[in-house]
Amino acid sequence: MDALLEAALAARKHAHAPFSGFQVGAALEDDSGRIHTGCNVENATYGLTICAERVAVFKAISEGARKFRRVAVAADTGALTPPCGACRQILWEFCGDIEVLLVNLEGRSESLRLKDLFPRPFDATFLS
């Protein structure tokens, strides 16, 4: 299995999801090949919960990474789980049209482009 998919599956095990039980892991590969992982972290108010993809992006940015190749998202679902809308926005702003790999615990996976999941993104070009 691809190392990025394995990293996302491993990160999922660290998820803090006591309310939903929905554990997600993400792994983001930067342009130098380093892998930055994240997991979802729930909060009792739900609104302060943060998704695995955003944790991985923010962690990578905080570690100095600025260019990215691809991201993997792992969840325990039959249907492969894509990033939510908020995560798609963050991924677009920080990563652009990267490859998005989805994987479940049975090892089923799929590769998409972020542009296919987020066809009309809002970004800084609208602010000028």
- What's the mean per-residue pLDDT of the chain? 97
What is the extent of the structural domain holding 16? Answer: 3-127
pLDDT of residue 77: 96
Q: How many domains does the chain have?
A: 1
What DSSP string runs through 33-64?
Answer: S-EEEEE-B--TTSTT-B-HHHHHHHHHHHTT
pLDDT of residue 33: 98
Rounded CA separation 36/26 (Å) = 8
Q: Is the pLDDT reported for residue 34 higher than 80? A: yes
pLDDT in tens, 62-118: 999 999 999 999 999 999 999 999 999 999 999 999 999 999 999 999 999 999 999
Strands 99-104 and 68-75 come out as: parallel
Rounded CA separation 38/72 (Å) = 10
DSSP state of 1: -
Q: Which residues are catalytic?
A: 53
CATH code of the domain covering residue 50? 3.40.140.10
**pLDDT mean over 6-26:** 98
Residue 128 — pLDDT band, cuts 50, 70, 90? confident
